[in-house]
Structure 1
Amino acid sequence: MMPVRAALLGSVAIIASGAQGADLPAKPAAPVEYVRICSTYGTGFFYIPGTETCLRVSGRVRAEYLYLEPDDRADDMIGFRARGRLNLDTRTATAYGLLRTYLRMEMTRNTGAYGDSSTSPNIAQAFIQFGGLTAGRAVSFFTNPDLPAPNFGDLRFDDPSNAEVNLLAYTFSFGNGFSATLSLEEGQRVNNDLDFPLFGVGTPPPVLAPIAFTYGGERIPDVVANLRYTGTWGGAQISGALHQIRDVAFGLTSVDGVTVPVINPVTGLPYPAYADTEYGFAIGAHAYANLPFLGTGDTGWISATYTDGAVGYINAGQAGSIGSAFIGAGPLQLPFADAFVDPITGEFENNKAYGIAGGINHNWTPTIQTNVFGSWMRFDAPGTAQYEIPTTAATTAAGISGATTGLVDFNEYRVGVNAIWTPVEGFLIGVEALYIRVDPRGRVAVPVTDATGAPTGTFRSTGSEDAWEGRLRIQRDF
């Protein structure tokens, strides 16, 4: 009986202690944080838990394949590109207006005709907006970021897909779709140096060739301003930019390790060490419109640009440096720069570039669209920038008698078409063909290369050259 009694007493004690524990106050559980949808700024935003800041995470993966018409056996005809993009967009409503931060990170791997490169990380955009203030890296305010220009290859205008620069800007909003912006932007949008070899045939180039220079340190940023209107039918913008041109010691050279002045062959006097600082400018007009009479969702766009000493604003909006600033087609590569030093006065002479680009988009079905687009550009340098190659027995035998070299005036034409299939929202497969033609003013000399692409030291004369590009793009946005 004793073991049974002990077991019963133990059970009663356990039950009693449990009852007393149940009477004690329970520790409250931590509140559960649920992710809340933020519909204020569009789809995809949610509140960061514990804050009133909305966040949207998005990105892109692109695979692209390029056909580029080769000049010789050394050239790659096929190119491969893989690119990944990640976007982080945060927005917070404050008593002073919207506080926004935006970060776009990209990594690209190119091979073949794109140019072989290791994986290249890039901060494409990183800016803060507070009320009307924009600070950081963003699309230049010279261009209109809303232009519906879905071309894969480059056209000659300030393309918003390539026109990211470092800037500090303020936008004034007037209501009814009107706004104006004043922006201070980085000045070297492209390699605007005129730093290239001038060549002759059998003899040194004439002494009155344009003088090359290398850009000096930036003293003032480019000053950009625009006036923009956005409406239900489309939008329009006019823009202007002021650009500083200054060089590094064009009038000095090194002889046996000693720096000496360069002598002006006309006056017999030494050139100044530097040309006086010069200024260039650019003016742009951009517009786009919905075209419902062609089809649902159809659009058209146009962009016209005039530059004087600021050719970077028409050079496809390339925000990075391009080698030696040449534009051409096939073996014809012509110098393209902001300015040069006059061989007589020793001062800057500005080059001009101007042109127009545009396109039309048509949606055949909700998933199939085509785009037709093109651009024309004229490069116009002062007369002292080009000169005739002397007529000699060697040049006559080479068939280039009367050819021009230096900074040659030229026209460039680009015409393209693409077709895009979007079977699923945010996913596309597209093909594109682009034709490029460069017509210099008169005939020009082109270096002749051997089968490996190496220069032979001889030249030929040409009046124009053209080239074809083809692209296949597979892209997913999320």
Structure 2
Amino acid sequence: SGPGSPQNYAFNSGIKLTFAWLQLGGLRVGKDWSAFDTFIGYPGNVLNQMAVPYGDFDTNVVQYYFDAGNGFSALASLEEGSGVVGTINSYVPHVVGGVKYTQGWGAITGVVAYDSNYESVAGKVRVDFDVTNELSLFGMFGYGSNGKLNDDATNAIDAHGRGFYKIWGGNWALWIGATYKFNETTSFNLQVSGDQLKNYGLAANVAYTVVPGFTVIVEADYDHYGNFGVGMVGPSNANWTDADKKNSVGGILRFQSSF
């Protein structure tokens, strides 16, 4: 029985606390998602954003956010990480820094992170562009050094080339997408992603707001995994999700109530 049993696919997962922080001015202390993701933004308005992963989330933070009031903002964050690979293994924290410039046309954002466990550096640059009131586009590029992520001889835990920040396959990855608002209640969202190890993803959905606070989302997803069959155990460099097929197609139907 339990989550490790091949016969038991449903089990009680318990209660999970995602956010619990205190803030005074620009200073935030507590449990949050990593600034490596929150400051630069999530890759599009699709539900399946992780065909090519863009970063890890849960962490304790001590961070400071600065807003100059003229479109320029910056952030520095000390983070604990989470999980077997991501949690810091000494008193040295992970470090994240970011800068952003926002104007009426959109925004340019950059973040960089240092993984203190594996001495790996990763960064992402993103451009958001509001073409019209209806159409908005974004493009995000990530690049990370391997550091010691593949150095099994000196690390007790094999990271399979993926750390807390450089979680995509290989050194580089990209995510591009668009949102088109047909009217006040209906929008179309698209995301295309890929990385150096030839992992690719495509997600598209239509979101319809039935009444304020209640939205129905219908999404179709396609995933392709490069080097399929290489390193199939655990979160390997080749196959992030441990899918049992090289190409996978799926769909999501979500009824979302906000209150």
| TM-score, reference length from structure 2 | 0.76
The 1-side partners of 2:36 and 2:143 are apart by 12
* Residue 158 (structure 1) aligned with residue 43 (structure 2): no
Q: CA deviation at 1:236?
A: 2.1
Partners of 2:122 and 2:143 within 8 A in 1: yes
* Residue 371 (structure 1) aligned with residue 189 (structure 2): yes
The residue correspondences of 1:260-275 to structure 2 (distance < 5 A) are none
Equivalent residue, structure 1, for 2:109: 237
Find the residue that maps to 1:121 and give its secondary structure. coil
The 1-side partners of 2:185 and 2:71 are apart by 31
Equivalent residue, structure 1, for 2:3: none
Task: Provide closer, same or farther for how the CA distance between residues 164 and 286 of structure 1 changes in structure 2, counting only shifts above 3 A.
Answer: farther
The 2-side partners of 1:445 and 1:127 are apart by 38
The 2-side partners of 1:371 and 1:241 are apart by 29
Higher Rg: 1
Letter of the structure 1 residue corresponding to residue 140 of structure 2: S
Larger fraction in helix: 1
The residue correspondences of 1:371-390 to structure 2 (distance < 5 A) are 371-378=189-196
Letter of the structure 2 residue corresponding to residue 413 of structure 1: Y
Q: CA deviation at 1:444?
A: 4.7
Equivalent residue, structure 2, for 1:360: 178
* Residue 466 (structure 1) aligned with residue 236 (structure 2): no
* Residue 341 (structure 1) aligned with residue 156 (structure 2): no
* Residue 129 (structure 1) aligned with residue 23 (structure 2): yes
Partners of 2:40 and 2:111 within 8 A in 1: no
The 1-side partners of 2:102 and 2:33 are apart by 17
Q: CA deviation at 1:434?
A: 0.8
Task: Provide closer, same or farther for how the CA distance between residues 413 and 172 of structure 1 changes in structure 2, counting only shifts above 3 A.
Answer: same
| TM-score, reference length from structure 1 | 0.43
Q: CA deviation at 1:376?
A: 0.2
* Residue 283 (structure 1) aligned with residue 123 (structure 2): yes
* Residue 427 (structure 1) aligned with residue 184 (structure 2): no
Partners of 2:190 and 2:204 within 8 A in 1: yes
Partners of 1:280 and 1:350 within 8 A in 2: no
Task: Provide closer, same or farther for how the CA distance between residues 116 and 291 of structure 1 changes in structure 2, counting only shifts above 3 A.
Answer: farther
Equivalent residue, structure 2, for 1:227: 99
The 2-side partners of 1:236 and 1:367 are apart by 28
Letter of the structure 1 residue corresponding to residue 27 of structure 2: L
Find the residue that maps to 1:152 and give its secondary structure. coil
Q: CA deviation at 1:165?
A: 2.3
The residue correspondences of 1:64-213 to structure 2 (distance < 5 A) are 116-118=10-12, 120-143=14-37, 144=39, 146-147=41-42, 149-155=44-50, 156-158=52-54, 163-188=57-82, 190-192=83-85
Q: What is the aligned-residue RMSD (CA, Å)?
A: 3.3
Find the residue that maps to 1:365 and give its secondary structure. coil
Partners of 1:157 and 1:357 within 8 A in 2: no
Task: Provide closer, same or farther for how the CA distance between residues 140 and 217 of structure 1 changes in structure 2, counting only shifts above 3 A.
Answer: closer
Partners of 1:280 and 1:309 within 8 A in 2: yes
Which of 131, 137, 155 is the matching residue for 1:300?
Answer: 137
Task: Provide closer, same or farther for how the CA distance between residues 164 and 150 of structure 1 changes in structure 2, counting only shifts above 3 A.
Answer: farther
Partners of 2:106 and 2:129 within 8 A in 1: yes
Equivalent residue, structure 1, for 2:146: 309
Equivalent residue, structure 1, for 2:164: none
Task: Provide closer, same or farther for how the CA distance between residues 372 and 216 of structure 1 changes in structure 2, counting only shifts above 3 A.
Answer: closer
Task: Provide closer, same or farther for how the CA distance between residues 446 and 357 of structure 1 changes in structure 2, counting only shifts above 3 A.
Answer: closer
The 2-side partners of 1:426 and 1:412 are apart by 36
Which of 412, 430, 434 is the matching residue for 2:199?
Answer: 412
Task: Provide closer, same or farther for how the CA distance between residues 117 and 145 of structure 1 changes in structure 2, counting only shifts above 3 A.
Answer: farther
Give a deviation string over 1:317-339, Cα, whole Å, max 9, x none: xxxxxxxxxxxxxxxxxxxx932
Equivalent residue, structure 2, for 1:19: none
Q: CA deviation at 1:445?
A: 8.4
The 2-side partners of 1:148 and 1:284 are apart by 11
The residue correspondences of 1:35-50 to structure 2 (distance < 5 A) are none
Q: CA deviation at 1:230?
A: 2.3
Structure 1 unmatched ranges of 5 or more: 1-74, 77-111, 194-214, 246-277, 311-336, 379-409, 448-463
Q: CA deviation at 1:150?
A: 1.5
Q: CA deviation at 1:372?
A: 1.3
Q: CA deviation at 1:126?
A: 1.6
Aligned length: 232
Q: CA deviation at 1:476?
A: 0.8
Structure 2 unmatched ranges of 5 or more: 1-5, 162-169, 234-244
Equivalent residue, structure 2, for 1:477: 258
